[in-house]
Amino acid sequence: MSSSLFELGRFCYRHAGRVIGAWLVVLALLGIAAGVIGEGTSEVYEVPGSQGQEALDSLQGRFPELSGAAGQIVVVAPEGRTATDSGTRADVDALVSRLEKVDGVSEVADPYDDGIEGALSDDGRAALVNVQLDGQAVDVTDETRDALTDSVGPLRRKGYTAEVGGSAFMSPPPTISFLEVVGLVVAMIVLYVMFRSLRAAALPLVSALAGAGATGAVIMTVTAAVDVPGTAPLLALMIGVAVGIDYALFILARHREQLAGGSDPEESAALSIATAGGAVVFAGLTVLIALLGLSLAGLPFLSTMGVAASGGVAIAVLSAITLLPALMGRLGARLVPRGARDGDGTHHSRWAHGWVRAVTAAPLVTVVLVTAALVALSVPALDLRLALPDNGSMALTESPRREYDLVAEHFGPGDNGPLLVTADIIDSDDPLALMDDLEEEIAAVPGVERVTLSTPNRKADTGVVVAIPETGPTDARTADLVRDLRDRLPSLEKKYDTKLAVTGHTAIQIDVSDRLARATLPFALVVMGLSLLLLTIVFRSLLVPLTATLGFVLSTTAAFGVIAGVFEHGWFSDVFGVTRLGPVISFMPIIVMGVLFGLAMDYQVFLVSRMREAHVRGASPKDAVVRGFTSSGPVVAAAAAIMVAVFASFVPHGDANLKPIALGLAVGVLLDAFVVRMIFIPAALALCGRHTWEFPAVLDRTLPHMDVEGGVVHDHLERNREVREHPNRVVEARGVTIRGGRGVVVSDLDLAFDEPGVCLVQGPDGSGKTSILLALAGRMPFEQGVVEVAGYLLPEQAAAVQRRVALAEMHGINDLDDALTVAGHIAERLSARTLMPWARRRDIDRVMNRFTAALVAAREVKGAVVPRTQIDPTWYVGDLNSVERELLGVVLALVEQPRVLVLDENGELRSEADRWAVVAGVGHLVRSARETGQTVSVIGASTEPMAREHIAHLAGVPVEEVTIVEVGRHQVGGDAEPRGARRPVTAPAPGVGPGAGAASGAAFGTWSDFWEGRGDDPAAEGRRRPAPEEAPAAAASGDATPGNAGDLPRVDEGGDTRRHEGFDTATRPFTGTPLVHVHDTREEGSDEAPTRVVHTVHGIPDATRVHDVPAGSAPEAEAGQPVHGGDAHGDEAAPDDTHDHSPKVTP
């Protein structure tokens, strides 16, 4: 990841004008779309699958008068008058008449109607006018609400107290106030104090505001297709601005630190994106995942809020890693800080150094005191109550809030949250009597103050009982009443033979709160589990994630304690603008946990990564804590201060939905950054000492590696300095070990390919040549070592290596399709190269011409089977011979215009001459590519020893451009020969080479000859089996094959071969498991007739070989095949079963 971020940062820096212009265009387009397409937010709170939601949905079709939005107007007579006075009654009747004329009003209930109970207060001073509106609350227009509000104007002018409320006037969407601007001003001041530069201080704000603008525009555009709660945009903006400033600050601080150390501005900007930007992406992903986890509750509105907020975080991250480096590019060297810095560019803050010295002086005392303080602060959280807000939580200046209070005062708190009990009465013979019976049953339930209505609908298929609770809608006793009613329903259903349900807006809100409460614990466990896992992967430590997660739990619960203290117990309620004590919004805990989790991980990574870096460089555990905190503590403090200022600016806001969330985030960041990360964590890590960085080896091998702080990029930059000394280096590998499913395939490989040309990996079967080629191509992982290919490091930059290294056909890896034509293969490669669904004919012809030229060059090798040089493009690949197919694979690989071509040995080539023909064809293709300005190097493999001079001659390259690296095979059951050990290559005798006929084969030997030790090892000459033409002479002279006559062939590479009862058991290297079981039977012939040897390898399918050995000679079993197997496609030692244990390979 860090490598990709480095390239992204460098691109944005170099093309600053284009990137900034692109951002401006995108912002303008999004703004236009939001204004033209957006339809505004809607307050839709549904609980899919719940009893209350299903019953309410049913009422919309059967009893729309009670299921839709409603307005409620309370009229209080002037002092000295009552609601039943004739004058008051006349004024209220006039109000009813005005309301009936309002568009969108379906019905108005006259409070003086004898059929309506509870519309006149017991004290005789207030009347309640209920207004039924068309549709749901989201369908009510602003014009209708304004008309309802205006209708009470004449009453107010006559001295009445008249207020309008109801579900149609639920909390309006929150809006931005001047207090948010104050938060940005505070952020600007903190940035200026830190950077001492207006230019530098402005960059994080510009980056964050650009991201926030894009977020708001996207959310408002989406409202055209999705119901978005009014809280979602402001919540997304609040989180997006806060994290946007935070993230940009981290990156800019790293950039200026590097500039102060003398770094080049462009390299510094790219490196800051790769390092601090990596931590930003990591933190952003954690916040994003946590916010998307809001969908665990199964509530559509909450899922929408989570997606909106996570979108704001994602855009903030995108702005920080693209727009910010572009802004850096525009300012260039003007961002170099003024003032003294030390040699390595690290700013040693005196206060940070003194701070960390103080908190680590007695680490145990510090840990205990911090833990005790945070636990004490968390105690009020036990009283924290959750509920969805109603009109009673609005500001006192709002008419719906005043109406809510007047209803509670004159009619009782329950009138603000009536409950509906629905009944399916379609099968009833006497619906009216049934509804009367249900009225009595419901009215007798404890907690129900009265029943105001019990009636069937016009079709007499559905009845509704309206019950008024004794307590308000957010009171815990009302929730208990809803549960009690639902517990009674089964017995009532059985008694009256009807289906019942409890619903209504109050019941729906209780359902929402209950579902959120059930989802909070699983969400918290997921967040903490994710915290442990991610930090374990990043820091390769157990104690670091444990202390970090414990600190997160302490700061989060303490934040909940503060929220409960403010909203439940009234701590500083006047300061925070809390107008009513009681429950806070239900989804506050989940949102606060999600955001704090991401921020805590961000601070943890930024602080502890510097501590780990100091420890790796040799500092003692305590000194590492001091050094790491001293360098990163000031930045974390500044970031946290800004975050607290931004969140705190939303607290005095009048919106009840956002206020507790903003307070929780502000307090949570304050405690997590300044108490947990800057006091508790340094003390805890100092207390753990050297155990902090201990990590079980099994976990280190199992868990993936995550380069958050750009260690790979640092290594890459360091390697770039070496690259400048070796600008033409193609490949360098040091100490590479490749492990397969059954053990080590290659160990301690060293390889240096310093100049473009040809590199040949030579070695016997089982030496892991194919695995080496795939590893160098970035297609196979290796266990340890350092590999650089074409200037890129593996495995961290595997994607870049794969783009620059092409594979010719490798059997079992990227086989060509036999049923596809030659032209079809070429067209596929060309379309993949151009990203077009087609390929032009002239491009196919150009590639075919290269293929023809390669065949012409191959045909010049004497003895090679190249019967034709003109291949019809319509021929199927399956009809090509081995040389033609091999060269086609090379031609197709070169279509990708690689810097390196990897060519494995092809066991289907019939002779040495065919192999040399391939060399000649590849050499021609490489020379042709060079003539067009494309430098291509070739890395190949061979079991047979090949001389540099002959490779250079046929490939048409200077001999100094040919590198040969010999690798040895792991000894079976013995010590391993060091991989990559360079041994002198014995050139063939003069005159021996391609086209030399039998002499060539005798000089170079066959695959099995080399396996048995023949070739460049003179000591092996005495134990090799004779070549076919030498067999009679060997028999006549008494020369024996390996072992005595009649023995089975043995593994001569130091393996442990045991003989017992007709079996030879070759032991697998390092594991001690049987490799193969070989059994032989013989049918003795006459002196003239040959001896027939049936050679069976048990455990390997189709591995039976029948050999006819001339009379009197030793049996001539194939020692190399199949006693040994291959690596990824023929070189690794074969397992003793038929399961696939090969390493994973990326084609």
At 171 the pLDDT is 61
Cβ proximity of 610 and 299 under 8 Å:
no
Cβ proximity of 1053 and 972 under 8 Å:
yes
Which residue in this structure is represented by tokens 């390493």? 1143
Cβ proximity of 705 and 552 under 8 Å:
no
Q: What is the pTM of this model?
A: 0.64
Q: Which portions of the chain are predicted below pLDDT 70?
A: 1-2, 43-45, 65-68, 137-138, 171-180, 339-349, 653-656, 706-727, 969-1147
3-state secondary structure of 512: helix
Beta pairing class for 784-789 and 962-966: unpaired
The token pair that represents 215 in the structure block? 């977020």
The token pair that represents 32 in the structure block? 């236009």
State how far the alpha carbon of 324 is from the alpha carbons of 2, 20, 277, 284, in Å: 17, 9, 11, 16
3-state secondary structure of 889: helix
HEC letters along 221-232: HHCCCCCCCCHH
At 590 the pLDDT is 83
The amino acid at 397: T
Task: Count Cβ atoms within 10 A of the Cβ of residue 706 and give its class: 0-12 exposed, 13-18 middle, 19 or more buried.
Answer: middle
pLDDT in tens, 308-326: 888 999 999 999 999 999 9
Which of 681, 288, 530 is CA-nearest to residue 538? 530
- Biggest distance spanned by C-alpha atoms of the chain: 141
pLDDT in tens, 190-239: 888 888 888 888 999 999 999 999 998 998 888 888 878 777 888 888 88
- Note the Cα 345 to chain centre separation in Å: 33
Q: pLDDT averaged over the chain?
A: 77
Task: Count Cβ atoms within 10 A of the Cβ of residue 338 and give its class: 0-12 exposed, 13-18 middle, 19 or more buried.
Answer: exposed
Cβ proximity of 921 and 955 under 8 Å:
no
3-state secondary structure of 47: coil
State how far the alpha carbon of 613 is from the alpha carbons of 599, 619, 712, 847, in Å: 21, 9, 13, 52
User: Domains plus CATH for the chain?
Assistant: 2-33+175-335+347-384+513-697 (no CATH), 51-172+398-510 (3.30.70.1320)
For 825-882, the DSSP string reads: HHHHHHHHHHT-S---HHHHHHHHHHHHHHHHHHHTSTT-----S---TTSBGGGS-H
Phi and psi at 169, nearest 5°, equal -120, 35
Task: Count Cβ atoms within 10 A of the Cβ of residue 493 and give its class: 0-12 exposed, 13-18 middle, 19 or more buried.
Answer: middle
Which of 636, 662, 660, 658 is CA-nearest to residue 649? 662
pLDDT in tens, 347-380: 446 788 888 889 988 999 999 999 999 999 999 9
3-state secondary structure of 269: helix
Which of 641, 666, 654, 650 is CA-nearest to residue 563? 666
Angle between helices 324-331 and 16-36 (to 10 degrees): 140
Q: Name the region of 370 (left: φ>0; alpha: ψ -120 to 50; beta: rest).
A: alpha
